[in-house]
Structure 1
Amino acid sequence: MSSFEFTSEGVGESGNVTITGKQGNGGISELTIMAFGKQFKLDGEQLDKVKGFAVNGLQLSYEAGYKELGGRTIYIVLSKGFTSGTIGKKFVVVTESGTLSVSDELR
Structure 2
Amino acid sequence: MSGDIVPETRAWHAFEAEPNEAGGHFLSVSGEIKLANANETPHLILADPQPPTSGEILLELKVIPEGTSRYEWQWKQARILHPVTSGQYGMVRVIWQGVEVVALHLAS
Which bracket does the TM-score occupy, shorter chain normalised?
under 0.3
More helix by share: 1
Please give the TM-score of this superposition, normalised by the length of structure 1.
Answer: 0.28
RCO higher in structure (CA 8 A, sep ≥6): 2
Please give the TM-score of this superposition, normalised by the length of structure 2.
Answer: 0.27
